[in-house]
Amino acid sequence: MSSQRETIGVIGTGYVGLVTAAGFAELGNEVWCIDIDAGKIARLQRGEIPIYEPGLEDLVAKHRDRLHFSTDIADALEHARLLFVAVGTPPTYSGDADLSAVHAVVGAMPASDGHALVMKSTVPVGTGESIKRIFREQGKDEFRYVSCPEFLKEGSAVKDFLEPDRVVVGDDGDWAGDAVVDLYAPLNAPLVRTDIASAEMIKLAANAFLATKISFINEIANVCEVTGANVIEVAKGIGLDDRIGPKFLQAGVGFGGSCFPKDVTALKQLAGNSGYHFQLLNAVIEVNELQKRRVMAKLEKHLGSLVGKNVALLGLAFKPNTDDMREATSLVLSARLQAAGANVRAYDPIAEGEARHLMPGLAFADDTISAVSGADATVLVTEWDEFRNMDLQAVAGAMTGNVLIDGRNALDPDAVRAAGLVYEGIGRS
Ligand SMILES: NC(=O)c1ccc[n+]([C@@H]2O[C@H](COP(=O)([O-])OP(=O)(O)OC[C@H]3O[C@@H](n4cnc5c(N)ncnc54)[C@H](O)[C@@H]3O)[C@@H](O)[C@H]2O)c1
């Protein structure tokens, strides 16, 4: 199979780049993976995977012969005509996307009529147009450009690559777009082939819609709490409506991660920069920020002042099955707790290494029971299976107090109460 599949380049070997590279290797492609982080490339060359992503290590190991790692972009240019760009586009202080890494890649491209950049990074609408303009200004008119936004979810990224809901290809109807379509053809996914600006907007709109759904159900949960309804029942009842669907209706302590917060803000900024006030997205962001802080009020309801109180956080990653701490709710929550005078001890099965860099002053425990030992209150922040299945009797026995805040509605309230703890979920009155 591999002899019929073309060699490709992937620039940026983070969550998206490495999964994309391993996924195409699984489809039979040789892949040249490029990163400016020499340490990361050295680890990858040794067969070490720098991130935690289920199934990725096995897939990379399975295709070691097809995966080549280098810091030199010339290696990708020599071997591949399609160069997938998967570099970071973090938010700037203004909330706009920082495209400096994208432009570094663009600037490194030579004049060529046989290469194309395939943009996987999430970029503002209009980025493709401006990159094509840069190419023209630099006399690189023949360098092709394709937008191919990525929709994978950390925690299930390998499966998402191999079984995508859809593949979106935005292009100018030339050989490069055709080649990207051919690359993805074995996945038999629905294809949306469109213009570049629409492809860019599909990505931003998808994330903004999902974030809106989360903020919506969180607001419903907050109203449930004051009206006596149960958001779990409400979500089930509305989710069975085909037009609504059951996904992304889990109330909790707010969304985080490397995509939703930044992409929603970037779309809001993009609209604002174009003279349109995107009112709904302002609310989505504000609701999410407030939601992260609502745990404080729940704790104070039971404990009064938090000064000197011991609070255990279970889970730090922005969601289960990843070590990604970017924009994690735990960052805001632990900072708020510490500012309120609480002593915070946290445990996460995977993300501790990342968290230690970001959360100085926080005490870390090696397991659930050590984390909750002596705690006045425990807050479940990330719904790792390990916490869903924890021994509640042992937790209750180790704690000094008896308050358990279930920030993800992951536990059975009756089981928590049966263990002698006071249960507080989100929107479950
Ligand atoms: N993480 C996700 O779940 C996800 C999902 C869909 C889309 N995206 C988008 O994909 C992009 C990448 O996200 P990520 O989470 O993989 O980021 P990441 O930070 O994990 O990885 C980015 C990689 O690019 C490398 N890099 C930076 N500048 C470079 C350059 N000039 N040349 C070569 N390599 C360079 C970095 O060293 C890093 O390894 C972002 O635009 C993001 O919004 C992310």
Which atom in ligand 1 lies closest to the alpha carbon of residue 97? 41
3-state secondary structure of 265: helix
* Residue 21 binned pLDDT confidence (cut-offs 50, 70, 90): very high
Q: How many A from CA of 274 to the centre of ligand 1?
A: 26
Which residue's alpha carbon is at the smallest distance from atom 19 of ligand 1? 88
Whether residue 49 has pLDDT greater than 50: yes
Whether residue 3 has pLDDT greater than 60: no
Q: How many A from CA of 14 to the centre of ligand 1?
A: 5
Whether residue 375 has pLDDT greater than 80: yes
Q: What is the mean pLDDT of residues 56-68?
A: 98
Give the model's pLDDT for residue 332.
94
- The catalytic residue among 33, 148, 224, 259 is 259
Which atom in ligand 1 lies closest to the alpha carbon of residue 17? 16
Which atom in ligand 1 lies closest to the alpha carbon of residue 154? 3
Q: How many A from CA of 313 to the centre of ligand 1?
A: 28
Check residues 134 and 293 and name the one with the higher pLDDT.
134
Largest pairwise CA distance in the chain: 72
Q: Is 224 a catalytic residue?
A: no
End-to-end CA separation in angstroms for the chain: 57
β-pair partners for 345: 312, 363
Q: How many A from CA of 287 to the centre of ligand 1?
A: 27
**Residue 4 DSSP code:** G
Which atom in ligand 1 lies closest to the alpha carbon of residue 262? 43
Give the model's pLDDT for residue 65.
97
Give the model's pLDDT for residue 4.
83
Give the model's pLDDT for residue 428.
94
The answer, as to whether pTM is greater than 0.85, is yes
Q: How many A from CA of 17 to the centre of ligand 1?
A: 7
Q: What is the mean pLDDT of residues 54-68?
A: 97
Phi–psi pair at 405, nearest 5 degrees: -95, 120
Residue of 258, 260, 319, 323 with the most ligand 1 atoms within 8 Å of its CB, for mutation: 258
Residue type (1 letter), 219: E
Whether residue 223 has pLDDT greater than 50: yes
Whether residue 77 has pLDDT greater than 90: yes
Distance CA 166, CA 163 (A): 9
CB 125 within 8 A of CB 23: no
Q: What is the mean pLDDT of residues 347-363?
A: 93
Give the model's pLDDT for residue 1.
43
**Ligand 1 pocket, residues with Cβ under 6 angstroms:** 11-17, 34-37, 40, 86-89, 101, 104-105, 120-122, 150, 152, 154, 258-259
pLDDT digits (tens, 9 = 90+) for 152-194: 999 999 999 999 999 999 999 999 999 999 999 999 999 999 9
The pLDDT > 90 percentage for the chain reads 97
Whether residue 101 has pLDDT greater than 80: yes
In sequence order, the 6+-apart residues with CB closer than 8 A to the CB of 172 are 144, 145, 195, 196
Which atom in ligand 1 lies closest to the alpha carbon of residue 259? 43
pLDDT digits (tens, 9 = 90+) for 301-344: 999 999 999 999 999 999 999 999 999 999 999 999 999 999 99
Q: What is the mean pLDDT of residues 406-416?
A: 98
Give the model's pLDDT for residue 95.
84
3-state secondary structure of 197: helix
Which residue's alpha carbon is at the smallest distance from atom 36 of ligand 1? 12
Give the residue among 28, 24, 23 at the shortest CA–CA distance from 4. 28
Q: How many A from CA of 85 to the centre of ligand 1?
A: 8
Q: Which two tokens stand for residue 344?
A: 């915070």
* Residue 2 binned pLDDT confidence (cut-offs 50, 70, 90): very low
**To the nearest whole number, what is the mean pLDDT of the chain?**
96
Sign of CA dihedral 241, 244, 247, 248: negative
| Other Cβ atoms closer than 10 A to 134 | 15
Check residues 258 and 60 and name the one with the higher pLDDT.
60
| Other Cβ atoms closer than 10 A to 166 | 12
Q: What is the mean pLDDT of residues 366-371?
A: 98
